[in-house]
Amino acid sequence: MHRCRKLQIAAAACALFLAACGGGGGGSLGGGPTPLPTGTNVAPLTVDSGPAGTVNTPFVSVTLCAPGTTDCRTIDHVLVDTGSSGLRIIASVISPALALPAVTDGSANPMSECMQFADGQSYGSMLIADVKIAEEVASALPVQLIGDPAFATIPADCAGLGPPENTVQTLGANGVLGIGIFREDCGPACVGSAVPGTYYSCPASGCVGAAMPLAQQAQNPVPHFAVNNNGSVVVLRTVDPAGAAVVAGALVFGIDTADNNRLTSGNVIHVNAATGAFPTLYRGQTLPASFMDSGSTGLYFNDSALTVCGGSIAPDFYCPASLQSLSATIQSVTGTSSNVSFNVANAETLLTNNVTFVAFSSLAGTTPIGGSFDWGLPFFYGRSVYVAIEGQNTSSGMGPYFAF
């Protein structure tokens, strides 16, 4: 039986087998924080196969409204991403379409954006929306509408980054909710002058690269909430070693702002303010460019002692003969460190054993360039991971930091 597993976010061929991928139901909700937090600052988080048959991808629902109105659409299966900032929605999933005003430059030209990924890019217009997640509201927030049919021509320096990922299938979700450590996606680098492959001004003659003020860039919604705005907590239950078809969790806004988001752990990992990176010590090596990323489907690091999968099911993932129990040390840039234990299972076995399973706590693979340990979604299972935003104060100090 053909197994449609999206280790990544994309693979058009899988679209044909979505029914098979969908699987559905049956899995235990697992252990971990019990009960899951509730409240007006909590949105239910779910790891399931999603709209594109993905694995290890956490989803939340987000509501967009025409600014100042009650004309709203709720979009399900938006990827919760601690590795980026800004809200992006695939245009076609907003149905019926919502009349959202354009973000414009000084000459009233609409603006567009090229969102960069390691494997390609997502292009679309910049629009203004009121954004509601749980009961928290960010008013008049600049967001990206990926695959906006009114902006179908992808600028050359954006297309030069790789293939467009402008559909639900190629993006792997109905949208991306970037709640990472940065307030904006591009940040100060895009303010002074145009950076190729980022923002564009779009007069009738076509889009040209343009500088973008901070306030008009795609925004992390969290700092724009009236309260609970210094960061967020990604809470996911544990997963059985063999995997699970669905995993429940919670996206909690605020850090130590309410009873349901207390930070009591001593594992506070301050990061490089420019890159969001921190060092990880693994097998005697320091990996300085490490990061914590709910948008990564696996743990990605290099270890020559682990067997890499040989077949076409999980290329560049690890396939050890037996479950490997490993550990690493995560270091704060302030000098404190935390030991983390993790498991690496045979990826091909995980992905083929039970066709309904899409959540795996021991899925790991190689990273193309050394020097980093990508603590992807397997790290998040059974934990509460805190993401403190740059320049926002918390009881454990000023962001940016991760804590767990």
Partner 1 sequence: MRNLAKSSAALVALLVIACAPRAAHAALGADAGSVDQDRAHFKAALRTQVLAAYTVHALDLPGGTVVREFIGASGVVFAVSWSGPFRPDLRQTLGVYFDRFRAATGQPGATHRRLQVAERDVVIASHGRLRAFEGLAYLPAAMPAGVTPAQLR
Among 49, 85, 362, 396, binds partner 1 (CB under 8 A): 85
- Angular region, 197: left φ>0, alpha ψ -120 to 50, beta rest: left
Binding characters for partner 1, 219-258, by CB under 8 A (x = yes): ----------------------------------------
Q: In the window 138-157, what residues touch partner 1 (CB under 8 A)?
A: 156-157
- How far apart CA 95 and CA 76 sit, in angstroms, is 12
Site for partner 1 contains 317 (CB under 8 A): yes
Q: Is 166 in the site for partner 1 (CB under 8 A)?
A: no
Asked if omega into 96 is within 30° of 0 (cis), the reply is: yes
Interaction of residue 362 with partner 1, rule CB under 8 A: no
Q: Determine which helix (DSSP H) or strand (DSSP E) holds 377, and give its type and residue range.
A: helix 377-380
Exposure b/e, 251-284, CB count within 10 A at least 16 = b: bbbbbbbbebbebeeebbbbbeeeebbbbbbbee
Nearest to 132 by CA among 73, 179, 44: 73
Q: How many residues bind partner 1 (CB under 8 A)?
A: 65
Residue 321 lies near partner 1 (rule: CB under 8 A): no
**Judging by beta carbons within 10 Å of its beta carbon (0-12, 13-18, 19+), is residue 47 exposed, middle or buried?**
buried
Of positions 46, 144, 229, 367, contacts partner 1 by CB under 8 A:
367
Residues contacting residue 84 through CB under 8 Å, at least 6 positions apart: 115, 176, 178, 180, 185, 295
293 binds partner 1 (CB under 8 A): yes
Is residue 196 close enough to count as binding partner 1 by CB under 8 A?
Answer: yes
Of 63 and 116, the one with the shorter C-beta distance to partner 1 is: 116
Give the Cα separation of 64 and 377 in Å (integer). Answer: 26
- Given 205, 264, 312, 322, the residue binding partner 1 (CB under 8 A): 312
| x-or-dash string of contact with partner 1, 372-401, rule CB under 8 A | x-x-x-------------------------
Is 60 a binder of partner 1 (CB under 8 A)?
A: no
Phi-psi region of 289 (alpha: psi -120 to 50; beta: other; left: phi over 0): alpha
The reply on whether position 274 binds partner 1 by CB under 8 A is yes
Which positions lie near partner 1, rule CB under 8 A?
5, 7-12, 83-85, 116-120, 156-157, 159-163, 165, 170, 172, 178, 180, 182, 185-187, 189-190, 193, 195-198, 274-277, 289, 291, 293, 295-297, 300, 312-317, 365-372, 374, 376
